Structure 1
């Protein structure tokens, strides 16, 4: 297991934070640092057809070692980290034989990872945890997934008695800003189906995710000296506040779970003359998703009508853009690919946790590009922040799942295309 820990740490100490404001791919030059390292590592462990394109998408092949026809499967992870929290100068801490008590991440800043708040920690008593030092995220999302895929391929190469079909590996940039699959060449990848290793706790197996859209709402106003503003001033910030109050109460991320959708206001900047509100719209149900977008339009029209005479033109404009869709529609017709992953977990003693993703993955977009792609656990917890951690044992279990999926898919006549 030390081999997995060392590999994981060698990845996370490289800053690969992506940038949503960049128009390049990858969105940050520093993502190339890990991309080039991964290319060399894939070659060194014996993978074939290792390639990296001009946008840093990495692909590699483990050839089949069986003579009968076997579906080509893939395993995919992303190497960028979220811009939501600092991803530079990561200093991982190792907590061996975790005792179930508070973990002091940073004594100087009094930052503590406590099971009284993060109850999942108690699932891992006696295990080896890898944490942050309290000043950065860790990057288990999704460098744990990359670690597991590389380690599983290395294991299969070093143990040729384990039978498997052709396996394709893909590593992508910019997943954290929603672009991980934008330039992924599905035809070049050439797999019948794939799995993203990008989930959280051991056992997670997901083939449903949110339908997603982003909305940018712009509010206009009129600035007048406040002492003489009666009947003249229009404060765009207050109109934005009215807009937010028109959204359904109780339908925010902090008040929903499971299949419940939400509106999430994540940026609000403004002045009297102009305010810009940015929010995201999420729902698993396609009809409810469309109704949420319609509500944004309805509120916009209501406010425009209210100020039509005073302002003389539309005072509010709404730009709504779909981001991704529920992969369930594309995975259900080939449900056996989920069944194989479920069976693999059961055969190595893992209880599958099949549930919807309250977010999206590369697999969502890839499924709509013709590559059905459920999501499997990578083992980390508390992604995108200073309390992120991953048990080394969870990464080892993920390696075993990858290997077992490869085995099951290679059994003659058992894996259907």
Structure 2
């Protein structure tokens, strides 16, 4: 790439994170929050100002854009995708990003809440970032690097390619999605309009990471029914569904089967929401494993705990429902080994050490892969996401941009 190029990724990122795009899992609208479209409008406007004529924000909150081919070859259409929303786990309102230039390797105390301290002892990757420029929030909100780092990286790629028309590449599609954090990121993607043969999400962590494997995921809802009676006349009649649900949760293992007790390739079940009254209580779960077949085993075990709970409360009953959320992208991506090989080549040209990674989570690419477009994930530098101690290295973001610039050229070179 042009050695004199001035990256724009950091200034873009610092702008984007100040726009509140938190999604809402309880909303039934599309997108779940209208404020996500504010960032979408900014991105579409910026792309059009670069000369990307077809950049558009649609009514459902998706941004589509095309960088036309500069090659005479028949090159597969490649899509780069990131999501605009931030997690509902932590506030994204009034984010105040702080750049810690030439990071000294010490604890980072966040000024708006000094109790929030980002310690290298707690964040091993941060130990490797001494001398780089680290961006954090101020202590009262998340930062939004997940996934506005990815958004800014793709936008800087677009800026580079539109200002360097001599770079040979095939047709590139850009897709920015809403509602990824609540599992709806690709619910309304128009695949015909997207028109991509292969794709990459920009939603990964450490520099050099390439993710071609994610969890497979189901969601489960366990509903407990009791018998509501006036408490003054309830003896031998009242069956409190909330107590049944509490007993059910207490039956879950304390040393396994949960996110806080598992790692590497271990799966888990995780209660994410609970509500109820004496008459009816509902507990919602996410169920995760790298092996898709094991999801049913986890569900069966979970249902056994529900049966045990209602067995302790005469007159209570339960209902158990599950639904598919996404599947391990590796089942699809492995059919196209060139996808990863080209990323490895691009990283090597960028001076980045390639590290194949399995993600204990999912991306928009997980579902897009099973919708017909193989879609692994590339690093952005985003770390400690979904919380107030989130951070990202400017140099990691720049290396991601550089990797993408080389990647589109590798695809062109390998085509005939």
Report if TM-score (shorter chain) is over 0.5.
yes
1:315: which partner in 2? Answer: 317
Question: Does 2:187 align with 1:164?
Answer: no
Query: For 1:49 and 1:189, how far apart are their aligned partners in 2?
Result: 12
SS of 2:54 mapped into structure 1: strand
2:79: which partner in 1? Answer: 74
After TM superposition, give the deviation of residue 164 of structure 1 in Å.
1.0
Deviations 1:224-266 (A, max 9, x none): 6879866544333332233234444411111111211001122
Deviations 1:106-161 (A, max 9, x none): 26543221112222211100000110000001111111101101101211221223
- Contact in 2 for aligned 1:218/1:276 (Cα 8 Å): yes
Residue in structure 2 matching 1:198, options 184, 198, 203: 203
Distance 1:110 1:306, change over 3 A: closer
SS of 1:267 mapped into structure 2: strand
Query: For 1:254 and 1:412, how far apart are their aligned partners in 2?
Result: 44
Deviates more, 1:349-358 or 1:139-148: 349-358
Gaps of 5+ in 1: none
Question: Does 2:296 align with 1:290?
Answer: yes
- Contact in 2 for aligned 1:220/1:275 (Cα 8 Å): yes
Deviations 1:183-233 (A, max 9, x none): 111121111100000011111111111111112212222356879866544
Query: For 2:113 and 2:66, how far apart are their aligned partners in 1?
Result: 47
SS of 1:207 mapped into structure 2: strand
2:273: which partner in 1? Answer: 267
Distance 1:225 1:160, change over 3 A: closer
SS of 1:161 mapped into structure 2: coil
1:111: which partner in 2? Answer: 116
Distance 1:110 1:54, change over 3 A: same
Query: For 1:354 and 1:412, how far apart are their aligned partners in 2?
Result: 21
CA-based RMSD: 2.0
Query: For 2:230 and 2:71, how far apart are their aligned partners in 1?
Result: 80
1:242: which partner in 2? Answer: 247
Distance 1:361 1:70, change over 3 A: same
Gaps of 5+ in 2: 1-5
Q: How does 1:169-188 map to 2 (within 5 A)?
A: 169-188=174-193
Q: How does 1:9-408 map to 2 (within 5 A)?
A: 9-106=14-111, 109-222=114-227, 231-248=236-253, 249-303=255-309, 310-311=314-315, 315-408=317-410
Q: TM-score, normalised by structure 1?
A: 0.93
Query: For 2:210 and 2:125, how far apart are their aligned partners in 1?
Result: 18
